[in-house]
Structure 1
Amino acid sequence: MSASITDPLTPADATRPTLLSELLHNRWLRMAGRRIAWLIGSLWILITAGFFMIHLVPGDPVRQALGRNAPAAMVEERRHQLGLDQSTFTQYLHYLANLPRGHMGTSLFTGQPVADAIGSQIKVSLSLALWSFLVVVVVAVPVGVVAAALTRGGRRRRVELGFTSTGIIVATLPSFILAEVLTYVFSVHLGWFPIAGRSGPASYILPVISLAAGPAAILTRVVRVEMLAVLDRDYIRTARSKRLPLWRIYLREALPNALTATLTVAGLMLTGLVAGTVLVENVFSWPGLGTDMVTSIRQKDYPLVQGIIIVYGTGVVVINLLVDLVLGAIDPRSTLSSGASK
């Protein structure tokens, strides 16, 4: 009797899993941990490769910044101020040590801290990428659903052929070429929109269309294919047999199950849209990171070039991480391949 009183654990308590064990066996958390480790490794590779590749480029960036006629003593003093008179490996170690504090060096031309220069321009590039992404989703999802409804069961072959052909043409058209065509037609010839610069809502229209057209065409086809696959499932046939309204069958029963693959592809497209701003910004002379990157490459402003590369690379890997985490939360089956190797 006394033994039962002094022993605080019952058999049920002894077998009850602890919070730590539950966390360790949570498939989503293990997947998240692996993805975060992958992100850290990817960023280190990006920073390291970018640093050494930039330093392999021939030419003296300080001489480029000060001009050919600058006295040698002034050039050497500037190199010493920037730490460029040290070995490349020493510069690399100092760069890594300063990054966690937000120190990314100093622009060779303006003397402005790279972090400040990027911070003043990143909002412009992000606004362009996010508006383009919104247009991609708003256009692709309804058009893909309608295309699936019209061509379900092999019906309307001409509609399917026209849809597929148009999608292929738009998807394969480079964004900068489309940007040039749109500028000539709607800015130069018709005068409907500004030719260049960021001067208000109207200046967003052509850059956004240039960025969003190709991804929207691809995502529309993905939505259509996924919807066609879902519409052939048994539960959709059951819903049809119950004579449910078509809007409910397509929007409440079929569409949510077709959005898993759509979310994955859309997330990857967002990374492409972020990177694609480099070309489109230069076509429309937008004051964003893309324009700054091209200008700094021409000027051999290596600290600014590397800082912009890090920002773009970080954006890409973070977006991929978020897509994986959201997809794992929505569809736990997506974590099975990650957990199978463990």
Structure 2
Amino acid sequence: MRHTSPPAPPPVSEAAAPAEATRDTAAAPSRLPRATFRRAVRSAAWKRGPVLTGAALLLGLVMLLHGGIPNRAGSLGSLVETFLPWFGLLVPVLAAGALWRRSASAVLALVLPVTVWLSLFGGLLVDKSEPGGDLTVATHNVGAENPDPVGTARDLVASGVDVLALEEITEEDRGVYEKELAGAYPHHTVQGTVGLWSRLPLSDSRPVDIATDYGPLADTKPADVQLAGNRALRTTVATERGPLVVYVAHLGSVRLTPRSGFWTGSRDRNAQALGEVLAADRSERVMLLGDLNGTLDDRALAGITSRLRSAQDAAGDGFGFSWPARFPVARIDQILVRGVEPTGSWVLPATGSDHLPVAAGVSW
């Protein structure tokens, strides 16, 4: 018997190559451009917006290292610190630009200023007030140009506080305030342009030298002339819980001009002198009420803020801006304490002054 082999398969032509190989060959070029495109898009997102990225990082560094900005040229450091909370408004502006440019690097860079701003001011956004309090106080720069001192005095009486400090009292308006406040506040002292009115007895009231007059002619001024321009006082309030030493102060004005920049000479000199007075006062309970013409972030007030703490920071709700009255942008009117516990801090309604009154409650 003859052995026969199975028929050989027909030859496969090049045109009849397996379909699978054909599909793989066709798909490879299409997958390659898509992957490359995605990588290119991601790379471009990180490269876009270098200016926005730099601006975000610079903003964060300015807020983080504001204490290192020199004051030699026009008190630039103090100017930045005065309006430091407002730097946060640049964050949404930069964020909008980053989203519009689709810049991943700019979005990531914004983490720095957001984190720094929240660490500096986030605590102020929470209401920290507590019910109760042993004493309520208020301070108000009534304004030398106040067109309605009578109305201002009556508004302050309506606040119902126990102790009231006034700054920038003119000789012409002093009698008005003394008359209008007498019914609610039987005890008061006025030392030059500052005064304190109280429902509780006062003692040991006297002016405080904060270097308002300086230079070679300062000592030649008669005592009555020096007192007329005095801008700080010290007194003791007799409370049911014991004596409370109260300072009232109005530090020198600051000015922003193209030629000199942020001029703070008299304010800084007054702040240094007042800080030295506070450092020497060993009283157990001390309170400072007044217009300091500076925010507590300003390094020029460090001699004061290192010895007293802010009622607004401890027990307020928000920033408590007090100036200017029409559109407040800074809190330059302060209530600072030592040895008592703030229970609340708030801003009172506007009067005829260009400042808003601020008030606080404290307990022992």
Confirm or deny a common fold (TM above 0.5).
Answer: no
Q: Which has the higher helix share?
A: 1
Please give the TM-score of this superposition, normalised by the length of structure 1: 0.23
Please give the TM-score of this superposition, normalised by the length of structure 2: 0.22
Tell me: higher relative CO, structure 1 or 2? Use CA pairs within 8 A at least 6 residues apart. 1
Q: Which has the higher strand share?
A: 2
Indicate the structure (1 or 2) with the bigger Cα radius of gyration: 2
